[in-house]
Each structure stands twice: as C-alpha cells, then as structure tokens.
Amino acid sequence: MTTLALVPMDVAGRLGRLRARLGGAGCEALLVTRLGNIRYLTGFTGSAALLLVLPDETVFVTDGRYATQAPEQLGAAGVEARIEISGPAQLQVLHDAATGIARLGLEANDVTWGAQRRYASEGFPELELVATEGLVEGLRLVKDDGEIARIEAAAAIADAALAQVRPRLGAGLTEKDFQLELDHAMRLLGADDVSFETIVGSGPNGAKPHARPSRRRIVEGDLVVLDFGALLDGYHSDISRTVMVGEPSATQTRMLEVVAASQSAGVDAVQPGTDAASVDKVCRDVIADAGWGDFFLHGTGHGVGLDIHEDPRVAATSTATLAPGHVVTVEPGVYLPEHGGVRIEDTLVVTPTGHRRLTNAPKDFSLS
C-alpha cells in the first residue's frame, strides 16, 4: 500500500471559479495568504508564498528556497501563473502587479493586524482593502473526485493500521506506547504523516475528550477512546473507535449502546439538503433521552479535507446545509469520569442520493 495511484485533481479549474466569486465579495482581485488555500488553488506545497488573483492574471510570489519547486508544482497542476521569486521586495512585486485595480480583497481570517497595517501603508496605499471571508473555503467545501479519493485512501490506511495493532490494547501498554504503535503502523502503510496527534484515552483519561496520551498503563476494565487519522498528499482522515479491555460494567455497556445508537442515527441523517444542525440534534437527542445530555461535551462533527477541521461544522450553531461533495464527520460521545469515555466517529462523503462512509473499521468494542 506504499504506492498509491490516485485520481488526479482538477487544480487548474479552481482559479476561474474563485474569480467568479470576487465581484460578489466587493473586490476585483484577491490576495490569497492562507497557505492551505494557495495549495488548493495552485498545487504548491511549500511553507511560504503569496498569490495575487487579478481579473486576468495570476501572480505567485515565493522566495529562493522554492525557485525550482514552485514552477514544477504549478506546472504539474496545469496552473497558469506568473511566478516571481523574490526576497524582501515581495510587496513591491505585488503592488506593481495590482496597478489598475481599485479594490483588493484580503482574507480577513488569515491576515494578522500587523500584516493588514503593512498592506495598507506600504503595500497597497492607493487601493481600498476589502475584508473577505470564506471565498476559497467556500470552494473547498465541495470536494472533487481526486480529493475524495485522497481522503478515502487516507481513511483506509487508518483502518488497516488499527486492525493490525488493536489486539495490543490488551497487552499492558501505556497510552503513549499504543499511540506510537498505531502511528508507526499508519506510516508503514503509506501515510505521509499522522493527521493530528493521535488520541488514546484510557479509563478516566477517556472522559477528557481530547486527552493527550499519557504514561498511564491500559488495564482490565478500561474503555479506551482512540481518535486518529492518516495524512495523504495533503488530505486528512479522521476516525474514532472505543475499545473495551476486559468485561464492561453495566454502566459501560449502556454507554457503548447509547453512543452507538446516537452515532448510527447521526450517520443516517447525513443526506444532501439536510441542515448540519439537524444532524447534531439527532445525535444529541439520543444521548439526552438516555439521561446523559450534559455529558456530550462537544459538537457532533466537522468537515475534513486539506485541514483536519474545516467547514461545514456539524453543530447546533451551524448554518450549513449538506450538499454532494461535502465530507463530514459524525462523532458523538459520552464522558463520565468514573466510568471512562465512549466516542464513535466516522467520516462520510455526501452523495447526490445520501452518503458513503469512508471509514470502515469495525465498530464492535472487542479487542480483536
């Protein structure tokens, strides 16, 4: 599984779709500063770049470290852009390229206060700077086939890794030891990295939804919450499973049943045209009916893609409506300090007729 043939992505088509959104945001051009957005629009994976999207030209500025990589990656993606390799004069290059426009959009959720002041005073003093939100992120909501293939392949790596190491939860390891074995298995199966710091929460630690793995030894009577994912070609996967070591108590059995019922109801609710907030409500109602409404301590889910947490959010406050191509998690949980934690999470892609599950590790709670 270390060599993966992945469906190509239509990177080059994205700039045109972005341009079509600029007028509605009140600007003629957009300075893209968020690196994940630059990657999405150009295929560039480096750690420093600026992208100026003008009405009929795209200017990509980076520094000398990427003098070879940038033309290679933009070329491979079929992106037509003027590539400028520049040191301290980057703002001057962008200023000169923006001659002739009046209103320049900035990514308000990325640009720092200091950067905004620099753009206003030194970079583009003649231009009106417009705060924009979600212009590129709005495109990123709907994944193309290549993106879905990457998330699915990353999820398959995580599933296979868990299958390999799952019995080791009964071997008296510490949380940190098990984390290392799971992460190692994902890397050997072809992951570029872990998607985020793997969560291994055993016993009382499992009742803290985002506990960092500790030196606590996993023992009989523990529920163990595992939340992890693989990173592949920039795309994340995300899955949670809960495993019971030894025999569950009556309360633990009930927790496992209730969370499984909640999660399954939430998964069923993921359909095109459904409000994300109603998926959250479906999950929450099952847990509230069991009397544990106050112990479901987080939102139900989130979008997954180039970022591990992105739109659409699946929460009570979400205003999103699910649509084909959205990739979201459903991950309710119950956390009781005296009994432990239970969380079950799948990642789903919304399809024209319903959804498809991308995470397929078994959901039973046994060790193997």
Q: Is the Cβ of residue 96 or residue 197 nearer to Zn ion in the bound state?
A: 197
Choose between 176 and 309: whose C-beta lies nearer to Zn ion.
Answer: 309
Write down the least CB distance from residue 308 to Zn ion, Å: 7
| Dihedral over alpha carbons 165, 263, 298, 322 (to 10 degrees) | 110
Does the N-terminal peptide bond of residue 312 adopt cis geometry, omega within 30 degrees of 0? Answer: yes
Amino acid at 289: D
Quick check: 347 binds Zn ion (CB under 5 A)?
Answer: no
Using rule CB under 5 A, residue 280 touches Zn ion: no
**Least separation in angstroms between CB 238 and Zn ion:** 4
Number of residues this chain uses to bind Zn ion (CB under 5 A): 2
Q: Is 238 in the site for Zn ion (CB under 5 A)?
A: yes
The CA distance from 46 to 220, in Å, is 46
- Give the dihedral of Cα atoms 24, 29, 114, 92; nearest 10 deg: -170
Residue 318 or residue 329: which is nearer to Zn ion going by CB?
Answer: 329
Name the amino acid, one letter, at 279: V
Task: Report the residue number, 168 or 298, with the smaller CB distance to Zn ion.
Answer: 298
In the bound complex, which residue of the shown chain has the CB atom lying closest to Zn ion?
238
Shortest Cβ 309–Zn ion spacing (Å):
7
Among 195, 242, 329, 359, binds Zn ion (CB under 5 A): 329
Long-range contacts of 49-52 (CB under 8 A, 24+ apart): 50/90, 50/94, 51/81, 52/94, 52/97, 52/98
Shortest distance, position 3 Cβ to Zn ion, whole Å:
28
CB of 229 to Zn ion, least distance (A): 8
By beta-carbon proximity to Zn ion, the closer residue of 175 and 238 is: 238
Toward Zn ion, which CB reaches closer, 28 or 345?
A: 345
Q: What residues make contact with Zn ion under the rule CB under 5 A?
A: 238, 329
